[in-house]
């Protein structure tokens, strides 16, 4: 209901200054941030390990603010876009929601193990940054859970909600618009290395398919959260080849 009220309060954003604002936000997520990620070298693993809590807290704050603001634009975009976009922010009935979420989690897990097998075949290694960013203490694990919830939700709002809706007006469909959004999503994970960016993009395409299939962001949001927690905890040794030792 709060989202609906915000959408009504920002009604008319598709014209004038509000359209300019939406374009600026799209350029930020689609071009500027991926460009900066592509240029920036990952921090040394020692620095990441020493500042893990600060990194988690900073990311939670930035993704929470950025995702929340983009949510308002997404709600308004959906209200001005043809069906089924108005249902994008509403969950499907419990049965379809659980089925779609489960299928996305299964497909995402299979994709992660496929890339693990390819890594063994071709000698790809997870970057030191990937190992260093993983939580090791109980307090870090608790904070990482919050990080997974906030960041996963924000990323789905941005890359499977706002950007496809925004780009569909020029590309003709949400399916076509999901492609550039997914490329940007992969580049933003450059710290995972080349194969990690491709892996992230493939996972992003799977989640985008879930949104197109169900007409809702909720299965993708829940699956993204579950996958991040599975990869960080239950499947960490299998997928990353063990802890970083610190």
Residue 245, pLDDT score: 40
Average pLDDT of the chain to the nearest whole number: 89
Residue 245 forms part of a structural domain: no
Sequence-distant (≥ 6) Cβ neighbours of residue 161 within 8 angstroms: 70, 71, 74, 78, 88, 89, 211, 217
Determine contact, residues 22/73, Cβ cutoff 8 Å. yes
**Number of folded domains in the chain?**
1
Determine contact, residues 228/152, Cβ cutoff 8 Å. yes
Give residue 80's pLDDT band: very low, low, confident or very high (50, 70, 90): confident
Nearest alpha-carbon partner for 69 in 12, 35, 17, 24: 24
Phi then psi for residue 111, to 5 deg, are: -65, -45
For the residues of 70-125, what is the DSSP string, one character each? Answer: HHHHHHHHHHTS-TTGGGTTSPPPHHHHHHHHHHHHHHHHHHHHHHHHHHHHHT--
Higher pLDDT, 244 or 237: 237
Q: What mean pLDDT do residues 207-222 have?
A: 96
Determine contact, residues 240/134, Cβ cutoff 8 Å. yes
Give residue 237's pLDDT band: very low, low, confident or very high (50, 70, 90): confident
d(CA 175, CA 211): 10
Give residue 188's pLDDT band: very low, low, confident or very high (50, 70, 90): very high
Residues in the chain: 246
Residue 85, pLDDT score: 65
Secondary structure class of 173 (helix, strand, coil): coil
Burial 67-91 (b: 16+ CB within 10 A, else e): bebbbbbbbbbbbbbeeebeebbee
Place of tokens 């993009």: 201
Q: What mean pLDDT do residues 130-134 have?
A: 94
How many CB atoms are located within 10 Å of the residue 242 CB? 10
Residue ranges making up the domain that contains 91: 2-240
The model's pTM is: 0.89
Residue 14, pLDDT score: 46
Q: Which of 24-38, 77-91, 92-106, 107-121 has the lowest mean pLDDT?
A: 77-91
Residue 246 forms part of a structural domain: no
Q: What is the pLDDT of residues 84-101, one digit of tens each?
A: 566 799 999 999 999 999
């Amino acid at each position: 209901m709060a989202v609906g009220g915000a959408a009504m309060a920002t009604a008319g954003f598709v014209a004038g200054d509000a359209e300019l604002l939406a374009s600026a936000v799209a350029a930020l997520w689609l071009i500027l941030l991926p460009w900066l990620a592509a240029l920036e070298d990952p921090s040394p693993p020692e620095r990441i390990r020493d500042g893990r809590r600060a990194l988690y807290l900073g990311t939670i704050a930035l993704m929470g603010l950025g995702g929340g603001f983009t949510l308002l634009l997404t709600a308004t975009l959906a209200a001005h876009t043809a069906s089924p976009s108005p249902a994008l922010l509403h969950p499907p009935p419990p049965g379809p929601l659980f089925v779609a979420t489960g299928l996305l989690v299964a497909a995402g897990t299979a994709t992660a193990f496929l890339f693990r097998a390819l890594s063994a075949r071709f000698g790809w290694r997870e970057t030191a940054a990937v190992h260093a960013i993983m939580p090791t203490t109980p307090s870090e694990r608790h904070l990482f859970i919050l990080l997974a919830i906030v960041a996963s939700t924000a990323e789905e709002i941005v890359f499977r909600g706002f950007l496809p809706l925004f780009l569909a007006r020029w590309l003709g469909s949400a399916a076509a618009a999901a492609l550039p959004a997914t490329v940007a999503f992969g580049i933003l994970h450059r710290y995972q290395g080349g194969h990690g960016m491709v892996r992230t993009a493939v996972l992003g395409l799977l989640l985008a398919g879930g949104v197109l299939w169900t007409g809702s962001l909720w299965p993708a949001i829940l699956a993204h959260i579950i996958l991040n927690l599975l990869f960080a905890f239950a499947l960490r040794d299998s997928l990353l080849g063990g802890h970083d030792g610190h």
